[in-house]
Amino acid sequence: MNYLVAVLRDRIEAESAYSDLERKGIPLSQMSILGRGYKSADEFGLLDPYDSAWKQIRLMATWLIPFGFGAGVIFSIISGLQTFAWAGEWGNHAVGGVLGAIAASMGSIFVGGGAGIILSGDVVPYRNRINAGKYLLVVQGTAQLVRESTTVLRKYTPETLQGYEERG
């Protein structure tokens, strides 16, 4: 499935472009307007990368932190390190466990979705444009349908006109 996303200035321009696409024979079922009064980003399926990343981070932390604590204690016991003389033998093992839990929490952030928060791709800019009062016109279909839609939408000089190919 191919997608074409056009960011248009206002509702009138979005509706006009939608009507032009309809006149050119683009099926209504393959076009969507996103913005105030139309579909929201969530209704269309633009997932919020922040929500999904934090969900994955919490899921990984639930499992990794206890295992990290245990691994830190076991490492401390095996290695026999006495990092803090004042803490005693069991205190040092507890410190090793806490350090293992900290390392595990960092792992859950970096591997679990922290990169998704930082490198969220095009989804966040599209959401920001909708929140700023702009409209997105999305056409989905074959490569030929997207090419035909591109020629129609170019005359509206959209802020951006971006094509995507869904990878299975």
Q: How far is CA 79 from CA 75, 84, 86, 104, 154, in A?
A: 6, 14, 18, 19, 67
Q: Residue 167: what pLDDT?
A: 60
Select from 25, 29, 9, 24 the least CA-distant residue to 134.
9
Residues 6+ apart with CB under 8 A from 109: 57, 61
Q: Residue 102: what pLDDT?
A: 96
Q: Residue 115: what pLDDT?
A: 66
Order of strands, sheet of 160-165, starting from the edge strand that comes earlier in the sequence: 31-34, 135-141, 2-8, 160-165
Q: Where in the chain is the domain with CATH 3.30.70.120?
A: 2-36+133-165
Residue type for position 40 = S
Distance CA 12, CA 34 (A): 13
Q: Residue 121: what pLDDT?
A: 52
Please give the chain's pLDDT, 168 residues, in tens. 888 888 999 999 999 999 999 999 988 899 999 989 888 877 776 655 566 678 888 899 999 999 999 999 999 999 988 888 888 999 999 999 999 999 999 998 888 777 666 655 555 677 788 888 999 999 988 888 888 999 999 998 888 888 887 665
For domain 2-36+133-165, the question of CATH label 3.30.70.2200 is answered with no
